C-alpha cells in the first residue's frame, strides 16, 4: 500500500506524533517552574491516541507504507500495552520526588516519542524498519536513564546503557546484513520462502546471522548473556524510568522477537493455525530453551543477594524475561497466547511494585530493603499492597501472576515431552523467587517497631497503587475478559493470504 493510502491506518501513531509536537512546543513556552504541565498534555495525547486505536478495526490485517509495517490484531494489542504503560509511568513521574527540581517538559515529550518507537517495533515487517525502530527506542532510553544529570549514578547508568546498546546494535546490524545478503530482500514475509530455497549449505551463515540478530533482541528484553546493563542502569536511572524500561520496551522487544521467529519458521499461516514448524538444520528451539532456562536461573539467583529494592526488581525482571521466553520455542499459538497474557499482567504487578518503591523513597528516603523494616505497621496501606505485588510476581494464587505462569507452563507441557525439562526449571525458579520476594514482606512485617501515627499516601498516589493492585488480584480470580482479548489478537498479517 502506498504512503498516501496508508495514512488512514496510521492514525493512532499520528496522534502520538501530534502529542510529541505539541509537548515540544509547550515546553518552549513554559518556565522551568511550570514545565511539569507538559505531562498533562502528554496524558491527554495518550488518551486521544488510545481512543483512536480503540476505534480502529480490530480484525484489520494489511501492510502499509510500502510493506514496511503492518496493521494487525497482534500489533494492536501491544500498542494498547505501550499506551497504558506510558500513561501510568507519566502519572508515577508526577508523584516522584526524584524529578522535582529539574525541568521535566522534555522528559514527558521523550516518553511520548518512545510510544511511537515501540509501536513501530511491534509492527515492523522490514529489516530496515526493524533496526530503525529499535534504535529510536534505544536512543530515547539512553536519554531517560541519564536524565538526572546532576547525579553521578544516573550518568553512569546512561553511559553503561549507551556502551552496551552500541555493541548489541552493531551485532544486530551485521546479522541483518548477512540475512539480506542471503536472501536479497529486507521484507520479513519474503524471507521464509527465500531461505527455504537456499538449501542446507546456507545453514551456517543463517545460524550466525540469526544469533547476531538475537543479540539485538536479547539486549532489548534483557536475556542472559545480554543482560549486564540491566542492574546498574535500573539502579541509576530515575525510578519511574526504571519501571518503564522494565515493562514497555521489554514488551516491544518480545513483540518483535515473536514476529521475527514466526516469519522465519512459520509455514502457511503459522500464527493463525495451532502450530508452526522450525526450519530443518537450524536448532532454534533448543537455543531458545537454553537461553530461557539460563536467563530465569541467573536472574533469580543473583536477585537473592540484592540489598537495594531497585536492583532486586532489576534482576527479577531478568528472571521474568526468562519466564516469558519459555513460550517462544514452543512454536505454537498457545505459546504466543501465554506470552501476551503474561506481559499484560506483568505490567500491573511490576509497575505497582516500582511505584510503591517510589512512595517509600518519597516518605522514608530509602531504597535499601533492610530499611523497609516495620513499614507494614507504620503504613498498613503500603505494606499490604507491596505484599500483593510480591505475591503476584512470585506467582502465588489467587493473583494474576499465578494465572500468567499457569498459561506458560501449560503451553510447555502441551507442546510435548521435549519441553518438560524447561517447565520443571521454570517451577523450581518460581520457588527460588519466593525467597527474595518474601524477604521484602518479612522485613516490612517482622522487623522494626510500630508507630502511633500511620502513614497513608496522598490521593493520587493511592489511586495509582489501587489501579495497579486491583488488576493484579482481579485477573487472578476472573480473567476471561483478558483471555478472550488476547485470544482475538493472535492473528498476524501473512503475505499471500
415 assigned to some structural domain: yes
Stated pTM of the model: 0.92
Q: Residue 112: pLDDT above 60?
A: yes
In whole angstroms, what is the distance from residue 2 CA to residue 326 CA? 38
150 assigned to some structural domain: yes
In whole angstroms, what is the distance from residue 465 CA to residue 458 CA? 11
Phi, psi of 103, rounded to the nearest 5 degrees:
-75, 125
- Lowest mean pLDDT of 16-30, 223-237, 375-389, 463-477, name the range: 223-237
Which of the pair, 127 or 277, is modelled with greater confidence?
127
pLDDT score recorded for residue 277: 59
Chain segment 55-64, per-residue pLDDT in tens: 988 888 888 8
494 assigned to some structural domain: no
425 assigned to some structural domain: yes
Give the chain's domain count.
Answer: 1
Q: Residue 429: pLDDT above 60?
A: yes
In whole angstroms, what is the distance from residue 193 CA to residue 188 CA? 10
In whole angstroms, what is the distance from residue 285 CA to residue 335 CA? 13
Q: Residue 272: pLDDT above 70?
A: no
pLDDT score recorded for residue 470: 93
496 assigned to some structural domain: no
In whole angstroms, what is the distance from residue 345 CA to residue 340 CA? 9
468 assigned to some structural domain: yes
Q: Residue 205: pLDDT above 60?
A: yes
In whole angstroms, what is the distance from residue 167 CA to residue 292 CA? 22
497 assigned to some structural domain: no
- Lowest mean pLDDT of 51-65, 132-146, 364-378, 441-455, name the range: 441-455
Residue 57's domain comprises 3-488
Chain segment 32-48, per-residue pLDDT in tens: 888 888 999 999 999 99
Chain segment 72-87, per-residue pLDDT in tens: 888 899 999 999 999 9
495 assigned to some structural domain: no
- Lowest mean pLDDT of 13-22, 369-378, 401-410, name the range: 369-378
Phi, psi of 69, rounded to the nearest 5 degrees:
-135, 165
In whole angstroms, what is the distance from residue 4 CA to residue 21 CA? 21
- All three cell numbers of 217, joined, read 533482541
Amino acid at each position: 500500500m502506498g504512503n498516501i493510502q496508508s495514512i488512514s491506518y496510521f492514525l493512532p501513531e499520528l496522534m502520538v506524533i501530534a502529542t510529541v509536537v505539541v509537548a515540544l512546543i509547550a515546553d518552549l513556552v513554559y518556565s522551568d517552574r511550570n514545565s511539569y504541565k507538559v505531562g498533562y498534555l502528554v496524558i491527554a495525547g495518550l488518551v486521544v491516541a488510545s481512543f483512536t486505536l480503540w476505534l480502529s478495526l480490530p480484525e484489520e490485517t494489511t501492510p502499509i507504507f510500502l510493506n514496511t509495517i503492518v496493521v494487525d490484531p497482534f500489533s494492536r494489542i501491544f500498542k494498547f500495552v505501550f499506551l497504558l504503560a506510558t500513561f501510568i509511568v507519566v502519572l508515577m513521574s508526577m508523584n516522584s520526588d526524584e524529578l522535582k527540581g529539574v525541568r521535566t517538559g522534555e522528559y514527558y515529550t521523550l516518553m511520548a516519542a518512545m510510544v511511537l518507537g515501540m509501536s513501530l517495533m511491534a509492527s515492523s515487517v522490514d529489516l530496515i524498519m526493524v533496526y530503525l525502530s529499535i534504535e529510536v527506542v534505544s536512543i530515547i532510553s539512553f536519554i531517560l536513564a541519564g536524565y538526572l544529570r546532576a547525579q553521578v549514578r544516573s550518568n553512569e547508568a546512561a553511559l553503561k546503557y549507551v556502551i552496551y546498546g552500541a555493541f548489541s546494535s552493531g551485532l544486530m546490524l551485521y546479522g541483518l546484513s548477512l540475512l539480506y545478503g542471503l536472501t536479497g530482500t529486507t521484507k520479513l514475509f519474503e524471507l521464509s520462502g527465500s531461505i527455504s530455497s537456499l538449501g542446507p549449505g546456507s545453514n551456517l551463515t543463517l545460524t550466525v546471522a540469526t544469533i547476531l540478530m538475537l543479540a539485538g533482541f536479547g539486549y532489548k528484553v534483557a536475556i542472559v548473556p545480554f543482560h549486564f546493563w540491566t542492574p546498574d542502569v535500573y539502579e541509576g536511572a530515575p525510578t519511574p524510568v526504571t519501571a518503564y524500561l522494565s515493562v514497555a520496551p521489554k514488551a516491544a522487544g518480545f513483540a518483535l522477537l515473536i514476529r521475527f521467529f514466526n516469519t522465519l519458521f512459520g509455514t502457511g499461516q503459522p500464527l493463525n493455525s495451532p502450530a508452526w514448524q522450525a526450519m530443518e538444520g537450524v536448532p532454534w528451539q533448543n537455543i531458545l530453551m537454553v537461553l530461557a532456562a539460563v536467563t530465569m536461573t541467573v536472574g533469580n539467583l543473583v536477585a537473592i543477594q540484592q540489598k537495594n529494592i531497585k536492583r532486586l526488581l532489576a534482576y527479577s525482571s531478568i528472571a521474568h524475561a526468562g519466564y516469558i521466553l519459555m513460550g517462544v520455542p514452543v512454536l505454537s499459538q498457545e505459546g504466543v497466547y501465554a506470552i501476551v497474557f503474561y506481559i499484560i499482567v506483568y505490567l500491573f504487578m511490576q509497575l505497582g511494585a516500582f511505584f510503591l518503591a517510589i512512595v517509600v523513597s518519597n516518605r522514608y528516603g530509602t531504597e535499601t530493603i533492610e530499611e523497609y523494616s516495620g513499614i507494614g505497621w507504620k503504613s498498613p496501606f503500603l505494606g499490604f499492597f507491596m505484599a500483593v505485588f510480591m505475591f503476584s510476581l512470585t506467582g502465588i494464587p489467587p493473583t494474576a501472576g499465578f494465572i500468567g505462569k499457569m498459561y506458560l507452563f501449560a503451553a510447555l507441557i502441551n507442546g510435548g515431552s521435549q519441553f518438560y525439562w524447561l517447565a520443571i526449571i521454570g517451577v523450581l525458579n518460581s520457588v527460588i523467587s519466593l525467597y527474595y520476594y518474601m524477604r521484602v514482606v518479612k522485613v516490612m512485617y517482622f522487623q522494626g517497631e510500630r508507630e502511633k501515627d500511620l502513614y497513608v499516601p496522598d490521593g493520587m498516589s493511592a489511586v495509582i497503587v489501587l489501579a495497579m493492585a486491583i488488576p493484579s488480584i482481579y485477573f487472578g480470580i476472573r480473567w476471561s475478559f483478558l483471555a478472550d482479548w488476547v485470544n482475538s489478537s493472535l492473528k498476524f498479517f501473512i503475505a499471500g493470504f
